[in-house]
Amino acid sequence: MANGNGNGRVGLKDRLAEVGDHIRSSQVWSSIFRPGSPFRHGYSDSPRNRSYVIMNNVLYHLHPVKVKRHGVRLSYTLCLGGLSFFLFILLTITGIFLMFYYRPTSPQAFQDIQALATDVAFGQLVRNMHRWGAHAMVLTVFLHMARVFYHGAYKPPREFNWVVGVILLLLTLLLSFTGYLLPWDQLALWAVTVGSNMGRYAPVIGDQVSFTLIGGVQITPDTLLRWYVLHVLFLPFVIVIFMAVHFWRVRKDGGISGPL
């Protein structure tokens, strides 16, 4: 009986090993975790050096030692990925400035927006930079993805990074939408109404989604605070993580993709 149980355990272990090998040899696994040794940069095999190699790949993308010739050639794409990242930095700086003069409560939110134009030095200028920078970022991210699709850069081995890019586009749209609500004027109230009603039609969990978005069964001043936290804390934190993964994968997949 003991031998039988032992053989059963061995058989199960072998079966699990086969399943693991099958998963590691699949296209999904190879697209997320690139095959090959992660220590081809000359580092020894140790847990510290593994993390060092991965972290350096992100930094090497921002300031690489070598780049491909087509990566620095000025073309009709106008470095759309770099422009999107630059606009995100611009929005972060101007957004921090606006946070000093904005209170996410009703009716102070609308009054603070008006005070930016009349009482704060360069307030209207910074707000317009933030507003138009947000519009420009949505446009550049969309055009960047269109360029990637047109050049076929979503194909193996870059399909995982394409999925990360789609998520970044969705996060960019959510950032733009949540910022559109912060003035808390009539347009913002209708935008919250439309957005929460759209969430209510989500399959199975529609009511829970709508309840989470507005913080209750109807729109209240607490709804503004919820969208404000999403705009200045949660969504930027998530988008920074995905951008780091995106940059890392660009370097991992051989640098900036070129024309077909």
**In this predicted structure, what is the pLDDT of residue 93?**
97
**In this predicted structure, what is the pLDDT of residue 172?**
97
The Cα–Cα gap between 212 and 19 comes to: 39
Yes or no: say if 64 and 251 are a contact pair by the CB < 8 Å rule: yes
The Cα–Cα gap between 10 and 5 comes to: 9
**In this predicted structure, what is the pLDDT of residue 106?**
85
Pull the structure tokens for residue 78: 């106008």
Yes or no: say if 145 and 173 are a contact pair by the CB < 8 Å rule: no
What torsion, rounded to 10 degrees, do the Cα atoms 78, 84, 86, 91 define?
140
Yes or no: say if 231 and 179 are a contact pair by the CB < 8 Å rule: yes
**In this predicted structure, what is the pLDDT of residue 38?**
45
**In this predicted structure, what is the pLDDT of residue 124?**
94
Element (H, E) at 220: none
The Cα–Cα gap between 252 and 243 comes to: 14
The CA-CA-CA angle for residues 146, 142, 259, to 5°, reads 30
What pTM was estimated for this model as a whole? 0.78
Buried/exposed code over 36-61 (b: 16+ C-beta within 10 A; e: otherwise): eeeeeeeeeeeeeeeeeeeeebbebb
Residue among 230, 223, 260 at smallest CA distance from 109:
223
Residue among 244, 242, 246, 241 at smallest CA distance from 257:
246
* pLDDT, tens digit only, all 260 positions of the chain: 445 555 555 577 788 888 777 787 777 776 676 654 444 445 566 777 666 666 566 666 666 667 777 777 777 676 899 899 999 999 999 999 999 999 999 889 999 999 998 999 999 999 999 999 999 999 999 999 999 998 888 888 888 999 999 999 999 999 999 999 999 988 888 988 888 888 888 888 888 888 888 887 788 888 899 999 999 999 999 999 999 999 888 877 777 776 66
